[in-house]
Structure 1
Amino acid sequence: MYFEQNHNFEPGDVVYVLYRNPHAQDVAQVQEAAVVENPDQPGELSLFMYDTYYPLDEEIAVFPTEVEAMRAYNYHFGEDGNLYG
């Protein structure tokens, strides 16, 4: 998806991600997450949301602002949230 590679995320940053519900793949939303140090990989950063650590990599669409995340969400999923157009 999208990863803001030119942005230098630091522990404590609040970011916004496009998150698909793992139990209902037709449900997506913009979710706030925290950038934290990965407790299992010292020196690496992770995203923390829903009491879970996620890798901070190209597999998750990460945006520095909610406005940018909503713009991407609306572009990919439509303003009404319909994943299929």
Structure 2
Amino acid sequence: MDTIDPKELKAGDEVFVIYNNPHTPTVSNVRAAEIVQHPKNPDAVALFLNETFHVIEDDDALFRSEAAAERAMDDLYGNFEDGLR
């Protein structure tokens, strides 16, 4: 997968993530998110997605483009057009 190293991120970057719906665990989609200054740690950044701040973990899969995130999701879950996702 063509992911971004979290250490390379800076506030203002746009990234794309594979978002798993917490209410419907079988539903995943690609969402755009913004890298912002961490609200409680001025030396860190956070992921801002769905109006919520998220701590960025080393194993988070963040992508520079929607296409890269879509390819990764297809690799992980199958191709939507094939009815597998």
Q: The TM-score by the shorter chain falls in which range?
A: 0.7 to 0.9
Instruction: State, as a whole percentage, how many aligned pairs show the same letter.
Output: 30
1:74 counterpart SS class: helix
How far did 1:9 drift? 1.2
What letter matches 2:14 in structure 1?
V
Matches within 5 A, 1:54-69: 54-69=54-69
1:60 offset after TM fit, Å?
2.8
For residue 72 of structure 1, what is the aligned residue in structure 2?
Answer: 72
Partner of 2:35: 35
CA distance in 1 between partners of 2:27 and 2:49 (Å): 17
1:58 CA drift (Å): 3.0
Task: Return 5+ residue gaps in structure 1 as ranges.
Answer: none
Opposite residue 53 of structure 1, the aligned amino acid is F
- How far the C-alpha of 1:4 sits from its partner, in A, is 2.1
RMSD of aligned residue pairs (Cα, Å): 2.3
| Number of residue pairs aligned between Structure 1 and Structure 2 | 83
Q: TM-score, normalised by structure 1?
A: 0.83
| Superposition misfits of 4+ residues, deviation over 3 angstroms | none
